[in-house]
Structure 1
Amino acid sequence: MRFWRTICLDMSATSGMKTDIVSKKRRAGDDDRSIYLNYWYGELVQHYGLQKPGSPRQPFEVMIFDQHVMRATARRRFFVSKNGYIGLAPPDTQVGDMICVFAGGKIPFIIRNLEKGKEPSNDTGEFELECSLVGDAYVHGLMDGEAVQMIDEKAKEFQTFKLFWVFLF
């Protein structure tokens, strides 16, 4: 269930779904799940050449879902994090990059540690992490304030770091 919600950013491709009061976007619902299953059924039938000549085309909702998934995943890389989160991130995301929700923010970002292999920079043996921003991400399970909830429940804690903008030309 997490996969299909991830590839469509957990947003409905069709009308008639419940509206999320905060974002004014329609969240994916049970109707979208059945559209997703029909979408994959059609993809498998087409891939293995099982469609009979003259068979009816995909339902309109499935074609809309296909377009929605294409837009949602364009210039994105699917990932599975070390902690089991799945999501879509910028195409230059690498193994070892970190998921970060900035204090006061709502959406996750991917950041890259610029200090791999560096020695601690102060007397306590700690150093302020230096990172670059890779870009925004969809991380299933971290899109509705779950990161803040983890802080509140002491499952995670704030981490301070310096953020650098790195432009590659």
Structure 2
Amino acid sequence: MGTAQTLEEFISAIPDWLTFGEHLHAEAEALAQQQSTYPRYVTGGSMDDAFWRSLICDTTALGERVPDSYKNNYSSWRAVSGMLSQPEDHFLSTMADHYTPARVYDEIFGLAMPGRRFFTTREGYIGLAPSRTTAGDLVCVIKGANVPLFLRPTGENYVLVGECSCHGIMHGEVMLRKDLEIREISLV
């Protein structure tokens, strides 16, 4: 997938085979509407990179951060996934060229997706959240936690919805923000 000029072009380039959950296409459309002024990802880099990394929680099967070279695996994964409607000679050449790297990406994708759904935030972040996440839940970085968490406000307290993968805050990047809001909360 080439680099899109606008977020709408990026979202419209997501093929139907990638609608792995009922919610992705609708949420991707909402992302396009919500972030139409962001041709680049909120923390820098391309939406394409943020998207392919988000689909696998930016983590290898061994739990390490995914290197940039995995973008080739993602491209192969897309090529293999889209080949079923192609003529036999195209099918065979695609398999020969892309099967092994696509399988690596697919293995990680299979580990990342169960029980999760694609999400966006008002600020433009994207990632994978617990499937029971709803509008109004908050992505929070909790001191001492290894990953961001989704919390649901309940009056003055919060309920833990679950952990998430949110591109651009997974590796401590959010702690460098000057406008970071720090507060104490009560979980119930």
Q: Which category of TM-score, normalised to the shorter sequence, fits these structures?
A: 0.7 to 0.9
**Matched-pair contact (CA < 8 Å) for 2:73–2:104:** no
Q: For residues 1-169 of structure 1, what are the structure 2 equivalents within 5 Å?
A: 1-12=49-60, 25-46=63-84, 49-52=85-88, 55=92, 57=95, 58-115=98-155, 129-150=156-177, 153=178, 155-164=179-188
Instruction: Output the CA distance in 2 between the equivalents of 1:141 and 1:76.
Output: 18
User: What displacement does 1:139 show?
Assistant: 0.6
Instruction: Output the CA distance in 2 between the equivalents of 1:30 and 1:93.
Output: 29
SS in structure 1 of the partner of residue 69 of structure 2: helix
Distance verdict in 2 for CA 1:50–1:12, change over 3 Å: same
**Matched-pair contact (CA < 8 Å) for 1:12–1:32:** no
User: How many positions carry a matched residue from both structures?
Assistant: 136
Q: Supply the AA of the counterpart residue of 2:72.
A: S
Q: Percent identity?
A: 29
- Hey, which of these two has a bigger chunk of helix by percent? 2
Instruction: Output the CA distance in 2 between the equivalents of 1:102 and 1:82.
Output: 20
Instruction: Output the CA distance in 2 between the equivalents of 1:90 and 1:113.
Output: 16
User: What displacement does 1:149 show?
Assistant: 1.9
Runs of at least 5 residues in structure 1 that lack an aligned partner in the other structure: 14-23, 116-128, 165-169
User: What displacement does 1:25 show?
Assistant: 4.1
SS in structure 2 of the partner of residue 30 of structure 1: coil
Instruction: Output the CA distance in 1 between the equivalents of 2:136 and 2:53.
Output: 24
**Matched-pair contact (CA < 8 Å) for 1:106–1:144:** no
User: What displacement does 1:98 show?
Assistant: 0.2
Q: Supply the AA of the counterpart residue of 1:50.
A: Q
Instruction: Output the CA distance in 2 between the equivalents of 1:161 and 1:76.
Output: 25
SS in structure 2 of the partner of residue 6 of structure 1: helix
SS in structure 1 of the partner of residue 139 of structure 2: strand
**Matched-pair contact (CA < 8 Å) for 1:109–1:133:** yes
User: What displacement does 1:102 show?
Assistant: 1.0
Root-mean-square deviation over aligned CA pairs? 1.9
User: What displacement does 1:31 show?
Assistant: 2.3
Instruction: Output the CA distance in 2 between the equivalents of 1:35 and 1:29.
Output: 11
Instruction: Output the CA distance in 1 between the equivalents of 2:148 and 2:104.
Output: 27
Larger Rg: 1
TM superposition outliers: structure 1 runs of 4+ over 4 Å: none
Instruction: Output the CA distance in 2 between the equivalents of 1:33 and 1:147.
Output: 23
Runs of at least 5 residues in structure 2 that lack an aligned partner in the other structure: 1-48
